[in-house]
Amino acid sequence: MPHRPATPSHNRPHTPDRHLPDGRIPSSSTTAGSRHTVPRWLRIIIPAALILVWFMAFSMGGSYFGKISEVSSNDAAQHLPAGAEATQVQELQTQFRGSDLIPGIVVYQRDGGLTDTDMSAIDDQIAVFGEVAGVAPGAVSPPIRSTDGEAVEVFVPMDSTVKVSDTVAEVRAHLASSTPAGLSAHLTGPAGLSADIGGAFSGLDGMLLLVALAAVLLILIVVYRSPLLPIIVLGTSMAALTAAIVTVWWLAKAEIVLLTGQTQGILLILVVGAATDYSLLYVARYREALRDHEGTWQATWAALKGSWQPILASGGTVIIGLMCLLFSDLNSNKALGPVASIGIAFALLGALTLLPALLMWAGRAAFWPIRPAFGSDHPATVGRRAAGVWPKLGAMISRRPRLIWVVSTLVLLVASLGMLQLKADGVPSSEFVLGASQARDGQAVLAAHFPAGSGTPAVMIGQQADFDEIAQTVLGTAGVTSVNVISSDSKSGTLPVDEAGIKQLGKPGSPPSQPTVVNGQVLLQATLDAAADSAEAEQTVRDLRTELSSVGADSTVLVGGVTAVALDTNTASVHDRNLIIPLVLVVILAVLMLLLRSIVAPLILISTVVISYLAALGVSALVFNHLFGFPGADPSVPMFGFIFLVALGIDYNIFLMTRVREESTMFGTRLGILRGLSVTGGVITSAGLVLAATFAALGVLPVLFMAQISFIVAFGVLVDTFLVRSLLVPALSYDIGRRIWWPSKLAETELPATEVRNVTKLLSGTGNSRAD
């Protein structure tokens, strides 16, 4: 029997026909509940304390946005595992040089040939380079002229212990101000490329955040049609992001985690998008609760009771998926796991503490001008009273479920065929930066006038006793143009090596020059005739490793250098991709089984999200190749796309299916699916738009990897939101019926005959619902 609302106020009419979200008529405890169980002063203190704590964290942490680049590194060698061959060479060669140097190359070029004035200006500039802080003392080479007389290269090694981007900026500034007209000058090499990549990420603290927040704010204004609520939601997201940035900054400062520009960008977008999504789900529940509870304290607890489990499950699934990256070989991938997980944890914390506190204080005014009145009817989800897109969509699904899910699946499978054109086997490092890059332009000049591998040699470290055999093997390898050995006897630090051995540079009769020996080992450098970041250079390094593997009976010759770093990085990326993707699938499947207490439903959800991912990757491959003209993709791009799409995409299915299960316990599975879809359709679609918009914001960064991840995830989220979660999952679940909950008891529950008739009447005019 209906109950009167407890303690009706003088200005509120009696509403005995008011219904809860599950269709039941509320009792007096629903509206009053624990009104007097918590003292009024405590109901004021608790939200105030939460708001104060978050405000203090936001105030103190704001300055860290501008300082995060201080603890960020873009050195590719640091991303490799310690056991990689290139990493071992990187560590050993510092013993030969006394410091860890990053090669920088200044290349000059004038069409028609360099003039005496040009050469004089170059000599003057070289003298200045040697005085720049960060340039290795005494290591700047004399000018090396090309055979055609049109170009000169100068080696400018830089100390990696000093901020390389500052050194590069100072050298480039001097080039811009003192190079004669008509003479082009570029600083390239690994140092120049590292500076260009760092410059591309410099917009993280400003432009990226501004674009992401503007896109989210616009969507929230359209969704809520309220001026205050979007600000509250965005304020929650920004507070969570600030707390995450502060935590990660100190962990990176203590060298507990490795922070890169790539990780930094993903962290920013992930926290803003996830925190906003979780907030949307809570706000939807809070608005429902305000219709059933007069006081904001009771409404807050009712909203938390209805939302904490799906929010926590969704965030926990993302965290578990991200933590699978700890099994990666690449240190950069391994570091992203805990860094991004920290961000998701703060997003969860903000959505479940700060947001409820803010909304409790704001009350119904937060929704102005469309305030949910106490005692007002909930919007109908099914039947003749139902209005809106989602109830109508549910009615369509109830009429033709099998046709809808079969057609949806076929569309996704056709889209996934584009994966056959996916080129994810690595790209030259000079292509990492989109748009202008002085390092890339300089590399093109080098390739036109010098051996393209000048300044970025392959590095071999082996036993001194095997020196002659190592040198002859390297010289005999296709793709090698010249060989040098590190020697302190030479002013340049190296001695040339040919078929006869070390070339002696001193006067006749002087003691023969010897290579530098460290712990019985020598270091040789091989200049390659292909650019260090090219596929040809990588093949030469593979050949060198193969040929040198048989040198020396009791020793191993290690091959490293810039090309080897890229090669080992690609190899590790492929390993990570093949390991992490199945691992994430298994872990998320296990979490879903525990959450939904079912085997069939999680298998359905995982399968649909995987098909959605394949479709997104297929369309992305076509867009990258034929629309954007990208040169290819890093092997890690499919892996990151998978982690974000599956881990985040499963969120929306969790939001949907937890509500469906809640409705199914009272109305049966098929009607529960229609009610769940209608209730969650708007909020999940809004969440999908927010997440797609935030990841799309990554596209403003002129970095190839970010542009590709941006498109894959944004497009994939839209596919998942509008096709998979709106049509495929509900239709397939509706067609299967209560068996989706197998082996739980819900799979065996039959509705009483009277309730089946009521359901059929409720759906009259929208198709007949089959009994579960």
Give residue 1's pLDDT band: very low, low, confident or very high (50, 70, 90). very low
Q: Please name which of 61, 216, 46 lies closest in space to residue 696, comparing C-alpha atoms.
A: 216
Handedness of CA 476, 479, 480, 481 (dihedral sign): positive
Question: CA 365 to CA 367: how far, in whole Å?
Answer: 5
Report the SS3 class of residue 502: strand
Q: What is the β-pairing status of strands 184-188 and 105-109? A: antiparallel
- Span 313-327, mean pLDDT? 88
Residue 177 Cα distances to 156, 157, 171, 172, 410, angstroms? 18, 21, 10, 9, 61
Torsions phi, psi of 178, nearest 5? -125, 5
Query: Is the per-residue pLDDT at 343 higher than 90?
Result: yes
pLDDT tens figures, 643-677: 888 877 787 888 888 888 888 888 888 888 888 88
Give residue 26's pLDDT band: very low, low, confident or very high (50, 70, 90). very low
- Span 749-766, mean pLDDT? 53
- Span 154-178, mean pLDDT? 89
State the alpha helices, DSSP H only, in 324-418: 331-349, 355-362, 389-399, 401-416
Q: Which helix (H) or strand (E) holds 185?
A: strand 184-188
Q: Which helix (H) or strand (E) holds 730?
A: helix 729-736
Out of 116-125, 470-479, 757-766, least confident range: 757-766
In this predicted structure, what is the pLDDT of residue 761? 55
In this predicted structure, what is the pLDDT of residue 332? 77
pLDDT tens figures, 244-303: 989 988 888 888 887 777 788 788 888 988 898 899 889 988 988 898 888 888 899 999
Give residue 12's pLDDT band: very low, low, confident or very high (50, 70, 90). very low
Query: Is the per-residue pLDDT at 95 higher than 70?
Result: yes
In this predicted structure, what is the pLDDT of residue 9? 36
Question: CA 664 to CA 193: how far, in whole Å?
Answer: 57
In this predicted structure, what is the pLDDT of residue 22? 42
In this predicted structure, what is the pLDDT of residue 763? 54
Interior CA angle at 278 toward 724 and 585, to 5°? 50
Q: What are the strands, taking DSSP E only, across 487-545?
A: 494-498, 501-502, 521-528
Query: Is the per-residue pLDDT at 25 higher than 50?
Result: no
Give residue 164's pLDDT band: very low, low, confident or very high (50, 70, 90). confident
Query: Is the per-residue pLDDT at 195 higher than 70?
Result: yes
SS (HEC) of 431-453: HCECCCCHHHHHHHHHHHHCCCC
Out of 41-50, 95-104, 651-660, least confident range: 95-104
In this predicted structure, what is the pLDDT of residue 573? 86
Q: Is 765 exposed, middle or buried (0-12, 13-18, 19+ CB in 10 A)?
A: exposed
Q: Please name which of 433, 416, 311 lies closest in space to residue 687, comparing C-alpha atoms.
A: 311
Distance of CA 286 to the CA centre of its chain: 31
Higher-pLDDT residue of 41 and 99 is 41
In this predicted structure, what is the pLDDT of residue 490? 72
Distance of CA 556 to the CA centre of its chain: 38
For residue 1, what are the contacts with CB-CB under 8 A and spacing of at least 6? none
Query: Is the per-residue pLDDT at 766 higher than 70?
Result: no
Query: Is the per-residue pLDDT at 27 higher than 50?
Result: no
Q: Which region holds residue 501: left if phi is over 0, alpha if psi is between -120 and 50, else beta?
A: left
In this predicted structure, what is the pLDDT of residue 187? 94
Q: Which helix (H) or strand (E) holds 48?
A: helix 40-61
pLDDT tens figures, 689-744: 888 888 888 888 788 888 999 999 999 999 988 999 899 999 999 999 889 998 88
In this predicted structure, what is the pLDDT of residue 675? 87
Out of 395-404, 545-554, 573-582, 717-726, least confident range: 545-554
In this predicted structure, what is the pLDDT of residue 179? 92
- Span 360-365, mean pLDDT? 87
Report the SS3 class of residue 21: coil
In this predicted structure, what is the pLDDT of residue 553? 64
Give residue 474's pLDDT band: very low, low, confident or very high (50, 70, 90). very high
Out of 319-323, 360-364, 413-417, 427-431, least confident range: 427-431
Out of 80-89, 341-350, 539-548, 586-595, least confident range: 80-89
SS (HEC) of 627-639: HHCCCCCCCHHHH
Interior CA angle at 759 toward 758 and 763, to 5°? 115
Q: Is the peptide bond before 5 cis (omega within 30 degrees of 0)?
A: no
Give residue 538's pLDDT band: very low, low, confident or very high (50, 70, 90). very high
Higher-pLDDT residue of 705 and 489 is 705
**Residue the block writes with tokens 């961000």:** 343
Out of 201-215, 237-251, 350-364, 599-613, least confident range: 201-215
For residue 604, what are the contacts with CB-CB under 8 A and spacing of at least 6? 729, 732, 733, 736, 740
Give residue 771's pLDDT band: very low, low, confident or very high (50, 70, 90). very low
- Span 483-490, mean pLDDT? 83
pLDDT tens figures, 367-426: 888 888 877 776 656 655 556 788 888 888 988 999 999 999 999 999 999 999 998 888
Query: Is the per-residue pLDDT at 112 higher than 70?
Result: yes
Out of 12-26, 99-113, 135-149, 534-548, least confident range: 12-26
Higher-pLDDT residue of 400 and 91 is 400
Query: Is the per-residue pLDDT at 588 higher than 80?
Result: yes
Query: Is the per-residue pLDDT at 604 higher than 50?
Result: yes
Higher-pLDDT residue of 597 and 204 is 597
- List the beta bridge partners of residue 306: none
Q: Please name which of 105, 86, 113, 82 lies closest in space to residue 155, comparing C-alpha atoms.
A: 105
Query: Is the per-residue pLDDT at 91 higher than 60?
Result: yes
Percent of the chain with pLDDT over 90: 28
Out of 215-219, 555-559, 566-570, 760-764, least confident range: 760-764
Question: CA 729 to CA 505: how far, in whole Å?
Answer: 76
Q: Is 350 exposed, middle or buried (0-12, 13-18, 19+ CB in 10 A)?
A: buried
In this predicted structure, what is the pLDDT of residue 472? 93
Out of 141-155, 407-421, 496-510, 678-692, least confident range: 496-510
Percent of the chain with pLDDT over 70: 87
In this predicted structure, what is the pLDDT of residue 202? 67
Q: What is the pTM of this model?
A: 0.80
Instruction: Read off the DSSP letter of residue 510.
Output: S
